[in-house]
Structure 1
Amino acid sequence: MLPWKRVLRPLAALLLAAAAATVPASTATAATDSAATSPSSGWNDYSCKPSATHPRPVVLVHGTFGNSIDNWLGLAPYLEVRGYCVYSLDYGQLPGVPLFHGLGPIDKSAEQLSTFVDKVLSATGAAKADVVGHSQGGLMPRYYLRFLGGAAKVNALVGLAPDNHGTTLNGLTNLLPYFPGAEDLLSAATPGLADQIAGSAFLTKLNAGGDTVPGVHYTVIATRYDEVVTPWRSAYLGGSDVDNVLLQDLCPLDLSEHVAIGLFDRIAFHEVANALDPGRATPTTCASALG
């Protein structure tokens, strides 16, 4: 085995383990490249009209190796039954790789998000949307906000375990420079992964001059047990309109790691709802898991 393959194998294994946890076998075949519709809710219902109580549609942005259905089997219905018009998209597709998305260049994925937000705003008649993303889905929209005019169309960005300043994968990525060709291979095969490595050219450009843009409200919900975004504090943003939240400060008993926080953690979901409607926010505690 070539030396660099010994590095890429654990990197891929860790990421694929997270992907496998987010894509139940019973539901994976339901994903499509167009916006998918949950069979039991109004999720991705383009006839939905936002109410006076919740005047902005919510756009859900999946993470790396995710898709528009499986990443949101928990949160989309949670928000929909609370009166939100909820939408999700697939982005970052690679040719010949079905179901697992978020692998293409992140700047190109942001262009797909831009097109999708325009579609949602046109269908709902809303002036702005709110965006909620998991992992890369909390990072990628920041490119849209900063470079593609998204700040004029988005009220709030809520990130669940986003890798806003990249990840070291518990130090594994620090080994890549020692194996000739490994970085080039990763960038060529899965540019969306390479963009998320701490210190990448993409992240350097994105974070130059500050983490946020004026006019958008930012919330980051992180977990100290994150095994994919490492160190976990790299999720946090700096800025005057940022709320950085640690899940374990809300409920010390919550052991959710990177996958669980986006897939089924109702404590995290309650905090998402608070971020979307701060005027009606209620304290998030361990009891929020029962809500």
Structure 2
Amino acid sequence: MRRLALFLLAVVLGAGALGTAPARAAAPPNPVIFVHGRNAGTGVWGGMQDDFAAAGYGRERLYAWSYDTGKSSNEVLAGEFAAYVDGVLARTGAARVDVVTHSLGALPTRWYLAFGGGTAKVAHWVSLGGPNHGTSLAYLCALWDQGCKDMTPNSYVLSHLNAGDKTPGPTRYATWWSACDEQIAPVSSTALDGADNRQATGCLKHNDLLTDDTVSQQVLTFLR
């Protein structure tokens, strides 16, 4: 009987060893930092953040950076953004973040990637209606607004950002542009060599890129 009991115990233990191992819990997605455009604030991202939360992102993984769009130089803003990224990484314990920008928000974040070591800390970067090669409308306010000055075609900021590799490092880049964008002139300014450049479906105005459900889902797919 004792031998039989030991045999049965061995069979049970063997079956457990050969059984399917418990599935590992899926790793949480990268924290996402949303960066608004000129004369805007973090509240513009409410709808898209709701979409991300509905797709499974915890609210503790969603952040929005606020900055002075009219006075600070692009280099100063890039340094401030770098500190914000480090804070998010420390708070979440993540290795890298994803960055989603609208309009002017593309420029200080690109500077961080190109000249601030950001490519080691940013996995995905998104530009919605970004003036990545400038917009002629910025001349209307460039004399008194630093953000506008930076957005003028061939500005100091843009000439440096576009002089070499426009999508440096291992970071993955994507842009969305609209044929009906009334703020980016020409609308082709947003696309970047080396990025996944997409035309938004439908006739979306500049700020519609922030709230369009299709754009939101496409951005989610790109990040995930």
On whether the aligned pair clears a TM of 0.5, the verdict is: yes
* Counterpart Cα distance in 2 of 1:269 and 1:216: 20
TM-score, structure 2 normalization: 0.83
* Counterpart Cα distance in 1 of 2:127 and 2:41: 16
2:198 — aligned with what? 245
Q: 1:128 to 1:102 in 2, by over 3 A?
A: farther
Aligned partner letter, 1:58: V
1:150 — aligned with what? 118
Unmatched tracts of structure 2, length 5 or more: 1-24
Query: Are 1:161 and 2:134 counterparts?
Result: no
* Counterpart Cα distance in 1 of 2:130 and 2:160: 17
Deviations 1:67-121 (A, max 9, x none): 112x212111111222221001111x2xxxxxxx465322211111111110000
- % of aligned pairs identical? 36
SS of the equivalent of 2:188 reads helix
Question: Residue 110 of structure 1 contacts residue 143 of structure 1 at CA under 8 Å; is this kept in 2?
Answer: yes
Unmatched tracts of structure 1, length 5 or more: 1-50, 94-100, 177-181, 249-253, 278-291
1:211 — aligned with what? 166
Cα offset for 1:138? 2.4
Q: CA RMSD in A?
A: 1.8
Runs of 4+ aligned structure 1 residues displaced above 2 Å come to 51-55, 101-104
How many residues matched?
197
Aligned partner letter, 1:221: W
> Which of the two has higher C-alpha Rg?
2
1:86 — aligned with what? 62
Alignment counterpart, residue 78 of structure 2, candidates 105, 110, 131? 110
* Counterpart Cα distance in 1 of 2:125 and 2:164: 19
* Counterpart Cα distance in 2 of 1:197 and 1:266: 30
TM-score, structure 1 normalization: 0.64
Alignment counterpart, residue 215 of structure 2, candidates 268, 272, 278? 268
Cα offset for 1:55? 2.8
Aligned partner letter, 2:99: V
Alignment counterpart, residue 140 of structure 1, candidates 95, 98, 108? 108
Q: 1:53 to 1:267 in 2, by over 3 A?
A: farther
